[in-house]
Structure 1
Amino acid sequence: MKKPQNHTTYDEMFSKGGEQAPYQLPYFLSCYYPMYLAVLDVLKRTGSSRVLEVGCGTGGLAHLLKDRYPVEYIGIDFSSVAVEKAIKRTNNPDSFLVADALSPELYNSNLSTIVCTEVLEHIPQDLKLVELWPEGTHCICSVPNYDSQYHERFFKDEAEVIERYGELIEIDRIDRIKKPILENIAISNLLRHLRWNRYRPGRLLELLGFGDFDKVGGWFVFSGQRPSRKSSNH
C-alpha cells in the first residue's frame, strides 16, 4: 500500500535518513552517487552556469556541485527537514528554500538549467510541474524503473519516458543508470557484504555492479530543452 504524499511523510523520511539512511551519507557514499555523476556530466556538457534544483532533498547533489562544479545554485524542497539538512551539509543557507514546486513564481526566464531528480515519480501533478518551467530552459531529470511505496509511477523503458515527457521536453539524451544494491557504497560496507554473500554467486555479481538493469533497478536520466510554445502542443 502506497503512503500518502504529504509534508509529514517526507519530513519523517528525511529525519530518519531513509531506509539504511542514504540521505544522511556523504554524497560519494550514497547509492545516489552514480545518478549524481550522470547529472554532473550533462551539466558540464551543456556548460550550465545557473541551476535550480527542484526537490533538492538533503542536498547531496548540491554538495557535489559545490565540490566539483561550482555554479550559481538554488535548491527548493517542500520538506523543511530536508532543507535544514541541506543547509547544514553545505553550510550555505542562502542557497536553499522551502517551497512548493508547483508555485509558478519560482520559475523565471533567467534560469539556465532545472535539475529535477527523484521527484517526478512522487507527485500526481508531474506534467503540470514540467509545464511551469520556462521555454528554452535546459532540463535534467530522473525517473525510476522500479516501483516503491512512495512512487506514483515508474517506467519500464525509454519509450515510456518519451511517451510521458516528450511533448514537454525536447529530450536529446536518456541514460540508464543502475542503482547500487547497497544504500551505503563505502568500500568497507561492500567488502562486508561480499564476505556475507561469498557463497551466493548471483548476489556477488549484483554487489559488484554486474546485475541486470531491469532486475536490480535504476534510473532513466534524461535531458533536453523546454520547447517554445509555438513548437509545443501544449
Structure 2
Amino acid sequence: MMRELEEFNSKVYDISYKEGGYNGIYFKHYKDTPYYGTWKEAIRKLIFLNRNISIIDIGCGVGQFANMLFDYGFTNYKGLDYSQEAINMAQQTNTEHKSKFQCGDALIHSIFEENYNLVILFEILEHVNADIKLMQRISKNSKVLFSVPNFPSKYHVRYFENKKEVVNRYKPYIKILDIQVIHLNKKSVLYLVCGIKK
C-alpha cells in the first residue's frame, strides 16, 4: 500500500535520536539492534568487494552500520544525515572516523558529486517524499544497496506490502539484481535491495 504523507523535519529526528528511539535502539551496539540481521546480509553482499571501495551512506543515522563497516575493514566511507543529533552520536560512536560524518540534506548536498562506487540507503527512502529525486541523484553505474519496510510508522511516508511494489517504484532508476526479505518479527520485514543505478 503506497501512501504519501508529509515527512518530519530534522528537529523531530533530533529529539528521537536524543531520546534513544524505540527501546533505546539508537544507544545500542549494532549487534543489539533489530537491524543487525539486515546489516549482516548487507555485509555478506559486500564482503567480496575490495575493502577500499568508496561508500556513501545516505541517512547514516547514529552510525551503527558505519561502525559495522569499519569493523569489517570498509573505511573509505562518508556518512550523511540531516539530523545534527544523529551526526553527533555517529561521531561519538566512531571516534576514529568522526570526520567521515556530515550533516546535510541529501537532496541538495554535494556528496553525490564526489567519487564513489557504492551508495547505501538503509531505512531512509520510506522517510522522504522525494525518494525518486534522491535515486536520480546517484551516479550512473554505481552500486546501490537499500532497504525499505513493509510496515507503517508515524515516521514513514510510505511502506511496501510486497517485493513487487518495491520493484515497481524503483526499477525505472535501479537495475535490481536481488531483493532479500529479512524478517524482523512475525509481521514486519525489510526488503534488502541490491542493484546498479541506471
CA contact (8 A) 2:7 2:156 kept: no
One-letter amino acid of the structure 1 residue matched with residue 60 of structure 2: C
| Matched residue, 2:103 | 98
Match of 1:67 in 2: 71
Maintained 8 Å contact 2:7/2:129 = no
- In structure 1, the partner of 2:82 is 78
The 8 Å contact of residues 178 and 219 in structure 1, kept in 2 or not, is answered as yes
Runs (4 or more) in structure 1 with deviation over 3 Å come to 45-48
Residues 42-74 of structure 1: CA deviation (Å, up to 9, x unaligned): 222444611100000000000001112323000
Asked if the contact 1:3–1:149 (Cα under 8 Å) also holds between the matched residues in 2, the reply is: no
CA 3–10 in structure 1, closer or farther in 2 if over 3 Å, else same: farther
Report how far residue 106 of structure 1 moved.
1.7
CA deviations on 1:70-116 (whole Å, 9 max, x unpaired) are 23000000000000000000102211000101015221362110000
CA distance in 2, matches of 1:149, 1:32: 18
The percent identity for this pair of structures is: 28
Q: Is 1:50 paired with 2:54?
A: yes
Partner of 2:11: helix, strand, or coil? Answer: helix
Aligned to 1:221: 192
SS in 2 for 1:42: helix
Give the structure-2-normalised TM-score: 0.92
Which ranges of structure 1 fall in alignment gaps of 5 or more residues? 182-210, 228-234
- TM-score normalised by the chain length of structure 1: 0.78
Q: Please give the alpha-carbon distance, in whole angstroms, between the structure 1 residues aligned to 2:125 and 2:168.
A: 14
How many residue pairs match? The answer is 192
What residue in structure 2 maps to residue 178 of structure 1?
A: 183
Q: Aligned runs of 1:1-234 on 2, under 5 Å?
A: 4-47=7-50, 49-91=53-95, 92-103=97-108, 105-108=110-113, 110-179=115-184, 181=185, 211=186, 215=187, 217-227=188-198
Deviations 1:180-205 (A, max 9, x none): x5xxxxxxxxxxxxxxxxxxxxxxxx
Instruction: Say if 1:56 and 1:76, in contact at 8 Å, map to a contact too.
Output: yes
Contact 1:115 1:141 in 2 (8 A): yes
Which residue identity lines up with residue 145 of structure 1 in the other structure? N
SS in 1 for 2:22: coil
8 Å Cα contact 1:170-1:225 kept in structure 2? yes
Contact 1:52–1:115, Cα closer than 8 Å, also in 2: yes
Q: Secondary structure at the match of 2:152?
A: coil
8 Å contact from structure 1 (residues 174, 222) kept in 2: yes
Are 1:104 and 1:132, in contact at CA under 8 Å, matched by a contact in 2?
no
Q: CA deviation at 1:38?
A: 1.7
Q: 1:127 to 1:4 in 2, by over 3 A?
A: closer
